[in-house]
Amino acid sequence: MSILIQQYNLVRSSRAVMLGFIENEVGSDIHKPLSEFNDKNLFFLLVHTANTYKHWLANFALGSLLPFADDKLINELSAVRLLYEEADILTRDFLDHFNNNMDAQITGVTRQGKTVTATPLELFTHAITHEFHHKGQLMSMCRLLGHTPPDTDVIRF
């Protein structure tokens, strides 16, 4: 379990670099829709990614009924930061709950009505790789908006 906590801390560190860049360099461009991303803006992807932790780790795995954040109602980066603080708490609770049973089989129904069976390790891996996938998209969006992104990888040069 210690290694998963360490791994998540690396994810959080990378996220902090990304959020700091968006806050300090991208500014109001965060609201600009991009045709290359189906007219979505950075807020949409940031909220979507935070909601993924809520969906898979809390609602699916732990049986919570937490409501999802609506990107149309969030227009400040401070609110996005709160969503990620909530994701941090959910992740910690998830890892604590499955501390000695990361190979357990969890079966549930997704929001789309599909029955899925996965282990806690698979769900955790999905959540963090999903975040990194969208972090790459977010940095591409920033570049399309004219902002050169920093290195946001786990190992930064």
Give the model's pLDDT for residue 68: 96
Measured distance CA(67)–CA(59) in Å, rounded: 9
Domain tally for the chain?
A: 1
Tell me if 52 sits within 8 A of 130, measured CB to CB. Answer: yes
- Which domain range does residue 78 map to? 2-144
Question: Average pLDDT, whole number, for the chain?
Answer: 95
CATH number of domain containing 79: 1.20.120.450
Question: Closest Cα partner for 52 from 66, 38, 32?
Answer: 66
Which phi and psi angles does 72 have, rounded to 5°?
Answer: -75, -15
pLDDT tens sequence across 2-17: 899 999 999 999 999 9
Q: Do the domain assignments include residue 131?
A: yes
- Reported as half-sphere exposure (CB side, CA atoms, 13 A), residue 27 has a value of 4
Band of residue 111 on the pLDDT scale cut at 50, 70, 90: confident
pLDDT tens sequence across 54-106: 999 999 999 999 999 999 998 899 999 999 999 999 999 999 999 999 999 99
Q: Do the domain assignments include residue 61?
A: yes
Torsion of CA 78, 80, 82, 84, to 10 degrees: -140
